[in-house]
Amino acid sequence: MKICKTKDYNDMSRKAANLISAQIIMKPNCVLGLATGSSPIGAYKQLIEWYNKGDLDFSEVTSVNLDEYRGLTHDNDQSYYYFMQENLFKHVNIDASRTFVPDGTIEDAQEACSAYNEIIRSVGGIDLQLLGLGRNGHIGFNEPADTFEKETHCVNLTQSTIDANARFFASREEVPTQAYTMGIKNIMSAKKILVVASGEDKADAVQKSFFGPITPHVPGSVLQLHPDVVLVADEAALSKCSL
Ligand code: F6R
């Protein structure tokens, strides 16, 4: 595991974007595993800037997103589908037919999850998986639990996640309570993993995930078993780690 300590969120975002862009340059037809949330937005902005300068080409890139709220339609501005259009896809030359997000509109959870596992298999596996870290140590929407779930599954979001995500919704009642998410095996099968974390409210999760015991009660802790993980985190997020 490599840890890259950055000054602040902007510094974290630029360094993460550098690693993502290196992946695209080295393998133009790579498969990127992408995340939503606040953590990767700055990196996406930086990638868009480099694309606009002519330094990056997404035309052969395939992307698979980690997760989606169950029940939200594509045009719902809180859906992760919508987030990805707004924060990355519509600004670069990625081929829309090669961007995948779990389909939250499929009501039958088993059908939705099997379909997504099949997509991940059909794209040939993930070259670089970008991850944020939940305050409770979740990755994707793999919430603390007694066991690790392997593949895409439907989860009941924990109160801590609902509270954390309420900031994006008009009221707490509007936050969906379930989501479809890639499982731990899907994530761990990626060739490389890049985790971004910023801010003091992530300090516990970072410490427990990267330095604590490996347990499904801190899903991010499983990353310690991956052979090629880079954590790019700012000083505040690393403040509880003795480096
Ligand atoms: C998002 C995702 C989540 C977030 C995590 C951190 O697709 O899978 O695991 O990465 O909740 O969210 P932020 O970055 O908003 O703090």
How many angstroms separate the alpha carbon of residue 143 from the centre of ligand 1? 11
**Angstrom distance (rounded) from CA 64 to CA 86:** 16
Residue 168 has pLDDT above 90, yes or no: no
The angle at the Cα of 139, spanning 136 to 142, to the nearest 5 degrees, equals 85
Bridge partners of 129? 33, 193
Q: Can 201 be counted among the known catalytic residues? A: no
For ligand 1, atom 12, which residue shows the shortest CA distance? 37
How many angstroms separate the alpha carbon of residue 161 from the centre of ligand 1? 9
Q: Which fold has domain 2-195+223-230?
A: Rossmann fold (3.40.50)
Q: Which of 31-35, 169-173, 223-227 has the lowest mean pLDDT?
A: 169-173
For ligand 1, atom 3, which residue shows the shortest CA distance? 140
The angle at the Cα of 109, spanning 106 to 113, to the nearest 5 degrees, equals 90
For ligand 1, atom 5, which residue shows the shortest CA distance? 134
How many angstroms separate the alpha carbon of residue 116 from the centre of ligand 1? 19
Residue 68: φ, ψ to 5°: -155, 145
* Mean predicted confidence (pLDDT) in 73-97: 97
User: Which residue ranges have their beta carbon within 6 Å of ligand 1?
Assistant: 35-39, 66-67, 132-134, 138-141
Entry pTM: 0.97
Contact 17, 4 (CB under 8 A): no
Q: What are 117-166's pLDDT values in tens digits?
A: 999 999 999 999 999 999 999 999 999 999 999 999 999 998 988 998 88
Domain ranges of the chain: 2-195+223-230
What pLDDT sits at residue 161?
86
Contact 181, 218 (CB under 8 A): no
**Angstrom distance (rounded) from CA 29 to CA 124:** 11
What is the separation of C-alpha 53 from the centre of its chain, rounded to a whole number of angstroms? 26
Q: Can 67 be counted among the known catalytic residues? A: yes
- The pair of structure tokens assigned to 15 is 């360094």
**Edge-to-edge strands of the sheet including 2-6?**
2-6, 229-234, 192-197, 128-131, 31-34, 62-65, 99-100
* Mean predicted confidence (pLDDT) in 42-59: 98
